[in-house]
Each structure stands twice: as C-alpha cells, then as structure tokens.
Chains A and B, each alone.
Chain A
Amino acid sequence: MNAEVAYKKVFERPKSLKDTPTHYCPGCGHSIAHRLVAECLDELGLREKTIGVPPVGCAVLAYNYFNFDMIEAPHGRALAVATGIKRVLPDKFVLTYQGDGDLAAIGTAETIHAANRGEEISTIFINNAIYGMTGGQMAPTTVLGQEATTAPGGRDAKLHGRPIDISAMIAICDGAVFVERCSLASIKDIRRAKRAIKKSFQSQLDGLGFSLVELLSPCPTNWKLSPKDAWAWVNDVMVKTYPLGLIKDTTGYEDKK
C-alpha cells in the first residue's frame, strides 16, 4: 500500500518557519508564538510580502527561524524601523515581534506613537514579565511580589514602581484598531491567540490601522519554575495583573466561532 494513501499528512512545518532548531529554552513561549505567527502568515498567503522586525531580547535571533525578510532594529525601536519600511512599501506586510523590555520600557515612546499615528503595522507583544536574554532582571511588566535579579525579595511598588499595562495604553490611541491580550499557557488559550493574531494581520491587510496582540508567555528559566509550573503561574498569578481578553476592537469584523 502506498504510504500517501495509508497516511494523510495533517500537520507540518509552516513555510514561514525555517527548518532549524531554535535556541529557546524548554517550555519557553517564543517557539509557540513563532509558530502561530508563521501559521497565520501561511494561511493568509503573506510570507513573500512580509518584512518582520524582531526585538532586542530573546527573540533577537528570530531571523534565523522566520522564513521571510527581516531587519534588526536597535533596542526598542522596532516600530520606528517598521514605520519607515511600511511608508516606503505600503503594499507589503510589516510586523514587529517584541518583548516587554523592548516594547514597554526602552521603546515606550516608539510604541505609543506608532499606534497613535495608526501605522498599518501588526505587533506581536511577548509579555513574560522578565528580562530573559540578560538573565532575569525586573521588567516593566514584572508583577508585584515577583522575584527578579534586580528586585530581590520580589517587586515592591514602593521600591520598584508598579507593573505597566501598555496594551491598555495603546488601546486609548485612536490609531489602534485592534488590541487583544491572550496567553500561551493552555491549549485553549493558544488557539484563541492564533485567532487574535490572524485578526490583527487581517486589519493591516484591510488598511485599518495599528493592531497589537499581547501574549502572556512562560519563561520557566528565569521564573525558576518547571515548564508545567510556569503554565500554572501564568494562569494563577500573571492573569490577575493582566486579565485576558479583548481590549479594543474597532475593526467591525464579525467573530467566526
């Protein structure tokens, strides 16, 4: 019997991902997020017209994994670089993929203003509440009480300030048309995240404006938890500071269930 007849291929690597192992730690959310982005690009037929801008942080090497044009930006400047690209090539698809330090600390100004200008760019925001690449320092999104190498004893509002909800800040900008917070810490949430990413991409294709999908993403290494416990920490602790769900949607799209 012919193998093709006996076995139907139901799952394969998206074309938007290169056939190469990543450097991400076991249990890290980046690999899942990469795959969701790649699946959405494939399904919308966007790979060959996409230009991606990765962050400085753990995903700085994303151009080794994504199989489309990519350009490195200085730390925090992804949305400024992406603005330059999109304005010169308005018919191309431009996305940024940024972590919390990149997007919500050093790149706050670039992020807020790109959103407010309504740049037709899709941003994937990986929120893991920690600086991963540099070894576990406090992030702008580190939650109160969470241990970090620069917040010994846990984040204390008096000493370190409070975590920032940048997605809510972006949502109040008129130029932002779609903002949703999802999680990568359960199968159900991962499926929901994919729907949100696809909607964000569609809104760019339709020229509606800026969109952002925040993904609560486990970092077992720097949280010093097992991958399983890291999922539980997202679901039990992190969501209390960052409740999941739609934050803003003026796209007018009807949700297909």
Chain B
Amino acid sequence: MVGEAAVRAGCRFYAGYPITPQNELPEYLSARMVEVGGTFIQAESEIASVNMVLGASAAGGRAMTSSSSPGIALKQEGISYMAGQELPAVIINMMRGGPGLGNIAPSAADYFQATRGGGNGDYRTPVLAPAGCQELAELTFLAFDLADTYRNPVVLLGDGLMGQVMEPVVFPDFVDLETLPERDCTLTGCEGRSPRALFSMLLNTDVLYRHNLHLQEKYDLITAREQRCETVMTEDADIIIVAYGTAARIAESAMEELRAAGMAVGLFRPITLWPYPTNPLRQLASGAKKVAVFELCLGQMLEDVILSVGERAEIFFYGIPGGPVPTPAEIAEFIRSAAEGDGKVGRRIEV
C-alpha cells in the first residue's frame, strides 16, 4: 500500500530493516524498486537504513525508510540529523505495543515519540495519521510533498492493524519526476559551482542560535499552514469524540450507533498530529459541552487535547494499552458514561 504509493509519489530510494508488523512494505519494495529503476537496500540495522536515507536525500532523491516502534527509536538519530541539516525524507512507523519489545498488536503508544521526537535538539517533524488504507496511500503522497516543501523529515504514523489489513484502494497517478522542484541543497559534485557542505554541527553558539531560530520560523509556518483534521457530525454535537488512526475508525462506528439511538455525538479526527489541529478543535470545544478522548494507549494525544481545549469543555478519557482492539460497543459505553458523567467507563480529566 504505502510502497506502491511511495513509488508513484516519486520515491526511488528505500532502505529498511525487518520488523513486524511492517514487513509487507519492504517485501513489496524489494521487487518494485527494481522495476522502476530505484534502489532497495535491506540494511544491517535501523540506524544504518535511516542514515542511508539521509545520504540518498542529500544526493537529491525522494527517499523513505520504514519500521515499527522500537525500530523507530533507533532511527531518531538520523531523523534529528536530517532535521538539523534540513534534508527531506519520509519515515513510516507502523506502531506496535511497547515499551521495549512489547508486542506486535495494533497499539498506538508512540504518539509522544512521533510528535515530540525522540531525537536530540530543538526540532519538529510533521506527523500524518491515516485512518485507513485509502488515506494511507494519499497521505504517503502528502508526506513526500511536505518533506520537499519544508526540507524536513515527515513521519507517517500507522499501526499494526493498518499495516496488515486489506482494503480496496484507488492509487493516485504517478508523479512525473521531472516536475519535482529542484533542490538547492543537493550534493552532486561541485562541477560549475563552488563546493557545498551539509552539516548540523555549528560550534559557534551565535551561529547555532540563529540556525535554531531559522528552524523555528519554519516550524511556525508549518503550524500555521498545515493543521489537518476531519470532522463528522460535529455541527449539533453536545459531545465530541477525539480519536485518530485506527481508534478513530472504531470511534466512528460507535458514533453511528449512538446517533441511531438519538444521541448528539460527533467525531473530531486529527490527521496531522504535529502540527496538532488545535485551532479547529478549540472552536468545536467552545460549542460543545463535552470532549471524549479515546486512544489505543494510556493517554498521550490527551495532552494536546488538554492544551487545545483547556476549560472550554469537560474532558473525558478512555485508553486501552498493550494492543487489544476494543469493539465499537465498548467505545459507545465510554461515550454514554462521559455523557452521563457517571465515571463507569474511562475517567474525567481535571484541567
């Protein structure tokens, strides 16, 4: 899915290291990259593969790596360097349960890792969170475009369920590689120009100070321009469910069930986790009475909801760690409980 979308989006370089639940992607690309004249490398580690992507990106290619949670932890080194060197790349994380080796179930416990960054330094990476296979394909395209536009690594955050389900998908058309904008940061040998150097080490404190301010300007621009979300039936809703990814799919089914029973409930689904769609959520929360947050972990996105909503509405939380996937009925119970305020499922968050 992501593999074919990436190839169509112009990706011609992939390096990765096997880890479940995302092996379908490198397996697909190992053959597909050869067909389109690109490069596939099964590297010796996650660290090597992300740094191969760093090199490929510096050489001018649209490049991608993928992994799952503990593998992404190892890739944070390269992600931080690429942020510092302002190199574009796409990093796919099909999340699994943690901490440590955890399990291979569809947990969503890497929200902090993705949005706060496990790498060192004052940097940000846009994070895109698809809720199904069609969107996975479309956001793969967007990820490459955002990476090039802002010369920054971009994270696509799925989970073990999304990585292994089958759904029909209509792929976007192939991008014409010739139409991709030329980068002025590419290293190709210095023929006809003065030599270029790409580096993130800026020993002079004043120089690094200015570099950080420059990066922050870019992050501010991304925050202002790239907040994305989907809202479903929120216009008349008294209670708004906030969920992303697979959790949002379950929440939407629960919402439909509750709507059929006459309850005024809506869904707010962030598509960008960074920048978090704070502005639209804040507006919605001002009109609703309650916000119910559901995550496949014990409350990470919750912090961004609190920062966005504040005291504009009452906030409730229900989270499931470790990988069990709840039924829509279970989430419907949480929404009912939040609406009643009876504390039977989930908990009320004191702000």
Contact = CB atoms under 8 A, between A and B. Distances in A.
Interface stretch (A60-68, A150-158, A224-232, A233-241): A60-68
B168 interface: no
Contact of A74 (B56, B59, B81, B192): B81
Interface in A78-122: 80-89, 92-93, 109-110, 112-113, 117
B199 A67 contact: no
Nearest to B84: A72
Interface residues of A, number: 35
A73 interface: yes
B200 A92 contact: no
Contacts of A19: none
Given A48-B191, A71-B187, A87-B39, A113 B48 contact: yes
Interface string B25-69: 000000000000001010111011101111111111101000000
B41 A69 contact: no
Given A80-B48, A81-B52, A72 B200 contact: yes
Nearest to B203: A61
A155 B193 CA distance: 48
B13 A88 contact: yes
B54 A69 contact: no
B196 A69 contact: yes
Interface string B140-162: 00000000000000000000000
Query: Looking at A49, A71, A93, which has the most chain B CB atoms within 10 Å of its CB?
Result: A71
Given A48-B190, A77-B78, A70 B53 contact: no
A85 B59 contact: yes
A87 B59 CA distance: 9
Contacts of B60: 88-89
A202 interface: no
The dominant DSSP class at the A interface is helix
Contacts of A48: 189-192
B170 interface: no
A113 B199 contact: no
A40 interface: no
A47 interface: yes
A68 B195 contact: yes
Query: Looking at A68, A69, A83, A112, which has the most chain B CB atoms within 10 Å of its CB?
Result: A69
A117 to B, nearest CB: 8
Given A80-B55, A81-B52, A50 B189 contact: yes
B81 to A, nearest CB: 5
A72 B47 contact: no
Given A71-B55, A74-B78, A77-B78, A83 B13 contact: no
A51 interface: yes
A73 B54 contact: yes
Contacts of A113: 43-44, 48
A84 B187 contact: no
Contact of B52 (A63, A72, A84): A84
Contacts of B195: 66-70
B233 interface: no
A153 to B, nearest CB: 33
A72 B201 contact: yes
A97 to B, nearest CB: 13
Given A49-B191, A69-B190, A84-B57, A110 B199 contact: no
Contact of A84 (B15, B81, B196, B198): B15
B85 interface: yes
A167 B167 CA distance: 50
B260 interface: no
Contacts of B198: 70-72
Contacts of A67: 190, 195
Contacts of A110: 44, 47-48, 51
B18 to A, nearest CB: 15
A83 B57 CA distance: 11
Contact of B54 (A47, A81, A87, A92): A81
B188 interface: yes
Nearest to B194: A67
A77 B39 contact: no
Given A67-B195, A68-B195, A109-B45, A83 B55 contact: yes
A60 B196 CA distance: 15
Contacts of A86: 55
Given A51-B189, A92-B188, A85 B56 contact: yes
B197 interface: yes
A67 B45 CA distance: 32
Q: What are the nearest 6 A-B pairs in CB distance? A: A84-B55, A84-B56, A72-B199, A80-B51, A81-B55, A88-B59
29 contacts: A47-B190, A48-B189, A49-B191, A51-B187, A68-B195, A69-B188, A69-B189, A71-B198, A72-B81, A72-B197, A72-B198, A72-B199, A74-B77, A74-B78, A74-B81, A80-B51, A81-B52, A81-B54, A83-B55, A84-B15, A84-B56, A84-B57, A85-B55, A87-B13, A89-B189, A92-B188, A109-B45, A110-B47, A113-B48
Given A48-B192, A84-B54, A109-B48, 4 more contacts: A69-B190, A80-B43, A80-B52, A89-B60
Interface of B: 12-13, 15, 39, 41, 43-45, 47-49, 51-61, 63, 77-78, 81, 85, 187-192, 195-201
